Amino acid sequence: RRAGRGQTMPRISRVLGSDASAATVVGPRLGDVTLEQVLRMQKDLYALFADDDFQNRLGALESRVGRASDNYTSEHTALFASVQDQVLPKYGFQRGQQGVREMLRVVAKFNDDERFVQNREMLNELLGLSRPAADDEERRAARVAAAQQQAQDDRPRAPRCLQGHPLEPFRTDHGSYTCDRCGASQVVGAAMHGCRRCDWDMCATCWGADADAAGEAVAECGALAGRRTARADSGAEA
């Protein structure tokens, strides 16, 4: 049907959907994109669409022109594109509406997958592209909150010691420091992070590595502290 501002309201599949008839343009071939990649793309889109800043902008737009399901406008297209243009290029699609058409063509082969369809419905509900039931607004708010919490949980954590103490930055004041993760000796004035309670230190190189490596640091912290205590005891006996 015709919607406001002279635009036709898009099919619900337009955000990440089932429009197999979209124009064929240059982009990933049908066999190049796997289901797992598409599911990750849906997750990435949902996380950014659920972001507070985006939801605030969407709420302001809906207060002026209404939900996209009732009055789809060029402003909706531009707002949705602000997220799509960040995510789609990571999966080989172009920026802009041409990239959206490429995506629609390629992902149409997954229309029979239950996970894909469920994610698509959640996206459309989040963006106001589907008509809400009486309790949909509450469910939408709950899903936004859950997605924001998941995004927070997915952020890399800074390394900590075995007891959960944060590693504080400092610069070495003598040349006897070594990194307890890689074993590298440190010069005077070297930047390090350390846990003074556990006497455990990490060099700048290891600190800048992938935060997932912090798990190794955590596992070693207690054992190293124990070995240091043992060495100190043996030295005292000597």
Is pTM, for the whole model, over 0.85?
no
* Three-state DSSP class for residue 17: coil
Reading the block at residue 5, the tokens are 């501002």
Q: What are the b/e assignments for 55-81, b being 16+ CB within 10 Å? A: beebeebeeebbbbbebbbeebbebbb
Q: What is the pLDDT of residues 94-115, one digit of tens each?
A: 999 999 999 989 999 999 999 9
Burial group, residue 177, by CB count within 10 angstroms (0-12, 13-18, 19+): buried
Rg of the chain on CA atoms, in Å: 26
3-state SS track over 161-184: CCCCCECEEEECCCCCCECCCCCC
pLDDT-above-70 percentage for the chain: 65
For residues 41 and 50, give the distance between their C-alpha atoms in angstroms, rounded to a whole number.
14
pLDDT score recorded for residue 156: 53
For residues 100 and 161, give the distance between their C-alpha atoms in angstroms, rounded to a whole number.
45
Q: What is the pLDDT of residues 150-190, one digit of tens each?
A: 666 665 567 776 677 888 999 999 989 999 888 899 999 99
Burial group, residue 2, by CB count within 10 angstroms (0-12, 13-18, 19+): exposed
Query: Which of these, 186, 163, 166, 167, lies nearest to 175 by C-alpha position?
Result: 186
pLDDT score recorded for residue 99: 92
pLDDT score recorded for residue 31: 55
pLDDT score recorded for residue 162: 66
Sequential pLDDT tens for the chain (238 residues): 333 443 433 443 445 544 443 333 345 554 578 999 999 999 999 999 999 999 999 999 999 999 999 999 999 999 999 999 999 999 999 999 999 999 989 999 999 999 999 999 999 999 998 876 555 666 667 777 777 676 666 655 677 766 778 889 999 999 899 998 888 999 999 999 999 889 889 888 888 764 444 444 444 444 444 444 444 455 545 4
For residues 111 and 118, give the distance between their C-alpha atoms in angstroms, rounded to a whole number.
10
